[in-house]
């Protein structure tokens, strides 16, 4: 072999070695699957399966059914017309766990519904003044709830996770005294009472992940509170008359914040992603 040919081969081998060195380093860095354009980045931490949450919103009350039993000459009447209930603010706190952006999620929530005024008109009766007429009737109630809710998350759609759900639980009602305006007599008042009844709800909404721990929740809920009633003690020593309120329900819109824990942010392994 001539000296010129040997020199050429040596130069070619040297160039090959120089070119192979960074490529080998890149392959080692990329576990044998990458190129020099690959780099190591930390994998974003996953949202944990369990969470605490807090909600606030507004509750639009539907018209309830009110029953009031009063002596009307020779008969009893249970009719309350023009029945209405005020709307109010609502809030709640709770905790739950889920399976991710697609699948089932369960939670327990404690809720508060502020005082809601009740109003209506009695059926015509004579209150002793000789005038047979309908009288305004008024009261108010405050409600606390404890609900077990189940949801189905429908999947991540460009960062938004829609969901549907059902809930069941208990409603504790604190009902105020109720009054009936009278003609020629002092205001007739019957003492309020507390009731514990069954409640249920249907929900729908959408959630948006704002960080590796926090998720904003925008939701709608239809809730049925069951029933409530007053006592049977009045202020005029008449035959006690009880006011019962049935079919209490509301449409609610709420904004909540879910704070997740139990993710893998402490233990996530590096993964290789192409640089742009």
Tens of pLDDT along the chain (276 residues) come to 545 444 444 544 444 444 444 443 333 333 344 444 444 444 445 567 899 999 999 999 999 999 887 655 555 667 788 899 999 999 999 999 988 788 999 999 999 999 999 999 887 776 666 777 788 889 999 999 999 999 999 998 888 999 999 999 999 999 999 888 765 566 778 888 999 999 999 999 999 989 888 999 999 999 999 999 988 777 766 666 788 999 999 999 999 999 998 755 433 333 333 333
How many angstroms separate the CA atoms of 191 and 182, rounded? Answer: 17
The model's pTM is 0.74
Q: What residue numbers bound the domain in which 17 lies?
A: 3-36
Is the domain of 10 the same as that of 81? no
Q: Assess if residue 185 is contained within a domain.
A: yes
Strand, coil or helix: 74: coil
In a domain, 81, yes or no: yes
Same domain, 32 and 74: no
Tokens of 39: 């780099």
Strands (E) in the chain, as ranges, are 38-41, 50-61, 65-68, 70-72, 75-77, 80-85, 88-98, 102-122, 125-126, 132-133, 136-154, 160-175, 178-180, 188-190, 193-209, 214-229, 243-261, 271-274
How many domains does the chain fold into? Answer: 2
For residue 137, being part of any structural domain is answered with yes
């Amino acid at each position: 072999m001539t000296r010129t040919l040997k020199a050429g081969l040596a130069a070619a081998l040297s160039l090959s070695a120089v070119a192979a060195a960074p490529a080998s380093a890149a392959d080692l860095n990329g576990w044998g699957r990458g190129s020099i354009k690959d780099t190591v980045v930390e994998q974003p931490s996953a949202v944990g399966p369990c969470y605490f949450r807090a909600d606030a919103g507004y509750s639009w009350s539907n018209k309830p059914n009110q029953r009031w039993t009063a002596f009307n000459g020779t008969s009893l009447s249970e009719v309350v017309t023009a029945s209405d209930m005020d709307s109010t603010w609502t809030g709640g706190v709770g905790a739950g766990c889920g399976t991710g952006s697609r699948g089932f999620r369960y939670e327990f929530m404690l809720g508060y519904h502020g005082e809601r005024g009740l109003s209506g008109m009695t059926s015509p009766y004579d209150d002793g003044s000789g005038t047979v007429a309908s009288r305004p009737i008024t009261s108010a109630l405050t409600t606390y709830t404890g609900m077990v809710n189940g949801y189905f998350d429908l999947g991540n759609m460009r960062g938004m996770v829609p969901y549907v759900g059902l809930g069941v639980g208990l409603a504790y009602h604190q009902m105020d005294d109720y009054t009936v305006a009278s003609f020629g007599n002092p205001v007739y008042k019957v003492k309020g009472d507390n009731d514990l009844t069954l409640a249920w709800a249907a929900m729908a909404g959408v959630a948006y992940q704002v960080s590796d721990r926090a998720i904003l929740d925008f939701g709608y809920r239809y809730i049925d509170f069951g029933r409530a009633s007053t006592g049977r003690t009045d202020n005029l020593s008449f035959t006690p008359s009880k006011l019962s309120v049935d079919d209490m329900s509301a449409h609610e819109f709420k904004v909540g914040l879910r704070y997740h824990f139990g993710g893998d942010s402490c233990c996530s392994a590096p993964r290789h992603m192409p640089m742009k």
